[in-house]
Structure 1
Amino acid sequence: MIAAIARTFYRFVGGNTTVPVALGLRNIYILPTGYGVLYLTVLGAMLIGSVNYNNNLGFLLTFLLGSLGLTAMMHTYSMLYGLRLLRATAMPVFAGEGVEVDLRVAEVARTRTGLSWYFNAADPIRGDFKPNQPARVLVRAWAGHRGLLNPGWLRIACDYPLGLFQAWARIDTGLQCLVYPRPISGPVPGATTASVQREGGIGRTAGVEDFVGLTAYQPGDSPGRIHWQAYSRGQGLHTKTFAGEAGAALMLDIDDIQGGDTERKLSILCFHILQAYHQRRSFGMRLAGQTFPAANGRVHRDRCLRALALYGNG
């Protein structure tokens, strides 16, 4: 509720703050830093002393330092002014991991220096841009629980060049990152079902008995099945595949997991889905009235993991 009120307030006062957005007069704010306050205090004291003693050199030094501070303030503000954020994306992660939010920024016409990017209380990431080059920043956020993660407000700050003033903007990325349950090892739930694919009239399934051939390597494949001899010959990474005369697909069922709370059961299911995928074994899943028929491959794996992430969240 408070976040929604704050978002409405910034939209009303500061104009558009939702990606895609261009930073300008309505959504950039600037205030003096601690050093800036001290600097202004000293300038005020120098001005009072110059007026009191009618000291022309005092006036000269005061106005010179004042113009320096004003120039620094304008440079700080200009580092953000005109910056255009195009989109924000993030790949799904597992609970307890860091999320890397990929921010794409339009090409800039001049150098932008001293920019800090961060979500809420996360450590800031330094992202500087050079003219006529693709601009991209990876900002980390923390995924504590499964579900849809909203990393919150993205803050872009800059105190370049002298650190006397800090300009910042608060941006609503509109991003919702999918967070899978954290995998936990446990007993295999469910049972096996016949999973036979007809190939020339002979039933064959993915197994470990007969060598079939090589397939292109995919991230997540077991290192034990990589054909290292082909790699040493400079032929790239390939994975060995096998087949057997008979086989069975694993049917995972959350109701077959004994003990523990729902989150632990989802984590065990997540673990066995990943294991089956790495072993190139067909698997299906039953989850709260939903049934996912036995299959294999990345698309099927991602579909099942998404169902785990959104379980109980509508």
Structure 2
Amino acid sequence: MPASLSNYLQRRLLKWLDRRVPASHEHHLNVNSIFILPSGFGWSFIILSLCLFLLGTNYQNNLMLLLSYLCLSIMLLTLFYTHQNFARLALKATPPSPFHCNLQGELQLQVIPHAAAPTKTCNGVLAIKWLNTVRPMDTTAHASNENISVAQQTYSFSLNDNEVTDTKQTQTLSVPLPIPVRGRFALGRLTIACDFPLGLYKCWTHLDFDQQVTVYAKPQEGPVTVNKVASSNESDSVSQVNDLTSNEDFYALNDYEVGQPLNRVSWKHVAKNGNWVSKSFTSLQSDSFVLSVPSNIDVETAVSALTYATLSWTGADRVFGIQYKGLNIAPAHGVKQMHECLSALACLNSHSSQASSTSNKTVSISSIKNERARSTK
């Protein structure tokens, strides 16, 4: 099948699913969201029943006819029970944590009680795979974007029978999330299937949990320029701290003045020679730096180098900011600063002249691939 026709059919399927099974953080399966057909083993069972019926009528063998009717009744009973079991499934998604594109993220799905049958649970083994890992863009400019070319691997999860174990703990299913490029993406639909109890029928559904994830760039050491930010009191590298709540290092002993807190008094010296002295502490003023990369460096190499530097400087608990191609992040430190820098670098577009550290725009996959191709040229 040509690629254009395949993309067209997939877009039509996704639009139809958006109307029939809308996106939601929590899904309780019902008639509109469940599809069921005989499995390969089920079709073989049906053909066997037909052959038994033809042989029984041809040779007028009542036992063979009875066996064919028995097989037919098993097929009908399994049809209703398989659908009823799968209709008890209810899933809730938690927001996925950011991860680097050279690693593999996870989407956490919680199996929760169904609204229509809270005391009954779905049994069997769930087969889960991504119908499309990333939701395609709605704009006409990206209408022909292709999904990420990753292997559509199926993941199996065995459901716990809470009625038997008498536990009310929520089961969590960790679905791997393979996205090999950086950016901020809206996750696509998951195909969830089950063939309990006999495997004669396969029930499945396509669910969109309306989740977004930020994929950080691959950290790789590179040419990063470090520029120190000048401060107004840069000459005072050490300042005395007389705050009661300070936890800084000891600096010197000074004469005690009336009104100073008693916990700063050096009682050892008072007991030794009767001199009242107070302890003073120091606070080293941390310098601020701005990380940047020369403009002649490839964009992906620069982003990877800045990502590596962000992780390194955060681990050393240093104050830093980033300045690169319109991206300006003020110096700060801590985990919040790290995630802000990594998110801004992940969403940085090479052909964009403006970039913001608080941008939440969804990045097109095909545009990133085209940028990488142009950069290599």
TM-score, scaled relative to structure 1 = 0.78
* Partner residue of 2:156 out of 119, 125, 148: 125
Aligned-partner Cα distance in 2 for 1:212–1:249:
21
Structure 2 unaligned residues grouped into runs of 5+: 1-6, 132-151, 163-167, 242-247, 251-281, 353-360, 362-377
Instruction: Give matches, 1:61-80, under 5 Å.
Output: 61-80=67-86
Task: Between 44-53 and 295-304, report the one with greater CA deviation.
Answer: 44-53
State the match for 1:251 in structure 2.
Answer: 290
State the match for 2:265 in structure 1.
Answer: none
Between Structure 1 and Structure 2, the one with more strand by share is 1
Aligned-partner Cα distance in 1 for 2:284–2:177:
47
State the match for 1:37 in structure 2.
Answer: 43
CA contact (8 A) 1:10 1:17 kept: no
Structure 1 unaligned residues grouped into runs of 5+: 204-210, 214-242
Q: Confirm or deny that 1:10 pairs with 2:48.
A: no
Q: CA deviation at 1:9?
A: 1.2
Q: CA deviation at 1:298?
A: 0.6
Which amino acid in 2 is paired with 1:109?
A: T
TM-score, scaled relative to structure 2 = 0.66
Q: Equivalent residue of 1:178, what SS?
A: strand
State the match for 2:196 in structure 1.
Answer: 160
The structure with the largest alpha-carbon Rg is 2
Aligned-partner Cα distance in 1 for 2:22–2:328:
43
Task: Between 301-310 and 288-297, report the one with greater CA deviation.
Answer: 288-297
Q: CA deviation at 1:91?
A: 0.2
Aligned-partner Cα distance in 1 for 2:339–2:224:
19
State the match for 1:110 in structure 2.
Answer: 120
Q: Confirm or deny that 1:310 pairs with 2:340.
A: no
Q: Confirm or deny that 1:87 pairs with 2:84.
A: no
CA contact (8 A) 2:35 2:205 kept: yes
State the match for 1:188 in structure 2.
Answer: 224
Task: Between 190-199 and 54-63, report the one with greater CA deviation.
Answer: 190-199
Q: Confirm or deny that 1:140 pairs with 2:147.
A: no
Task: Between 15-24 and 262-271, report the one with greater CA deviation.
Answer: 15-24
Percent identity (aligned):
25
Which amino acid in 2 is paired with 1:285?
A: I
Question: In the superposition, relative to structure 1, how do residues 202 and 253 fare at CA in structure 2: closer, same or farther (>3 Å)?
Answer: farther
Which amino acid in 1 is paired with 2:130?
A: F
CA contact (8 A) 2:99 2:215 kept: yes
Aligned-partner Cα distance in 2 for 1:82–1:245:
61
CA contact (8 A) 2:184 2:347 kept: yes
Which amino acid in 2 is paired with 1:249?
A: S
Instruction: Give matches, 1:133-282, under 5 Å.
Output: 133-194=169-230, 201-202=239-240, 245=284, 247-254=286-293, 256=294, 258-259=296-297, 261-282=298-319
Q: CA deviation at 1:147?
A: 0.5
- Point out 4+ residue stretches in structure 1 off by more than 4 angstroms: 1-4, 194-200, 243-247
Q: CA deviation at 1:300?
A: 0.9
Q: CA deviation at 1:136?
A: 2.0
Aligned-partner Cα distance in 1 for 2:60–2:300:
75
